[in-house]
């Protein structure tokens, strides 16, 4: 099993980038070529490995916000799955199933949403937490679910609980 958190910590130490995270800087430092070009509407981007050369191709029609998320996802493939020939993320499947896709998503969540004192998140919605870190709310939900945080509903509100302390999330 890949220890993604350890890989992230090593990248952050080596390239000195955490706040804000610069996935482009990491990719270039690793010798990964990044290309932006128009792709089919249902394709956000892909990672391809050809003869010891690594390429990440990002759909240039996406917003800068989406491009950053897709780039980080594909960077996850480049780092975690470099022995595979091609990995692709399609529109509407930001969180597709499958071990490699889940690992790439975990990579995005761990790199772009650093662990913080959870008291900072008190009273914030997933949307607000996403805005705070510059990521979509789905990625915030993915990270909290991966951490096996206790999220429960009571009286129309979602609550986030750790160490028996309950935080109102919605």
Instruction: For residue range 134-161, list pLDDT tens digits in order.
Output: 999 889 888 877 655 555 555 555 555 5
124 and 85, same structural domain? no
Distance of CA 169 to the CA centre of its chain: 21
78 and 18, same structural domain? yes
104 and 36, same structural domain? yes
15 and 99, same structural domain? yes
105 and 50, same structural domain? yes
Q: Which domain holds residue 17?
A: 1-112
User: Structural domain tally of the chain?
Assistant: 2
Tell me the C-alpha distance between 57 and 48, whole Å: 8
The CATH number of residue 5's host domain is: 1.10.10
Residue 123 contacts residue 115 (beta carbons within 8 Å): no
- pLDDT of res. 151: 52
- Over the stretch 18-28, which tens digit does the pLDDT of each residue have? 666 788 989 99
139 and 107, same structural domain? no
- Over the stretch 58-96, which tens digit does the pLDDT of each residue have? 999 999 999 999 999 999 999 998 766 555 555 444 555
Q: DSSP secondary-structure letter at 121?
A: G
pTM (2 decimals)? Answer: 0.78
Tell me the C-alpha distance between 84 and 55, whole Å: 12
Tell me the chain's radius of gyration from C-alpha atoms: 17
102 and 131, same structural domain? no
94 and 35, same structural domain? yes
85 and 14, same structural domain? yes
């Amino acid at each position: 099993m890949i220890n993604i958190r350890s890989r992230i910590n090593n990248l952050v130490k080596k390239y000195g980038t955490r706040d804000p995270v610069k996935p482009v800087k990491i990719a270039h430092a690793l010798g990964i070529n990044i290309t932006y070009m128009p792709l089919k509407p249902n394709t956000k981007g892909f990672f391809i490995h050809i003869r010891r050369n690594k390429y990440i191709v990002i759909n240039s029609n996406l917003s800068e916000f989406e491009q950053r998320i897709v780039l980080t996802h594909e960077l996850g493939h480049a780092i975690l799955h470099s022995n595979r020939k091609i990995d692709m993320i399609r529109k509407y499947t930001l969180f597709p199933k499958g071990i490699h896709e889940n690992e790439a998503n975990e990579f995005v969540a761990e790199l772009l949403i650093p662990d913080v004192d959870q008291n900072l998140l008190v009273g914030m919605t997933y949307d607000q937490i996403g805005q705070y870190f510059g990521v979509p709310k789905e990625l915030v939900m993915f990270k909290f679910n991966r951490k096996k945080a206790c999220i429960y509903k009571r009286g129309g509100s979602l609550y986030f609980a750790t160490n028996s302390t309950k935080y109102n999330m919605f």
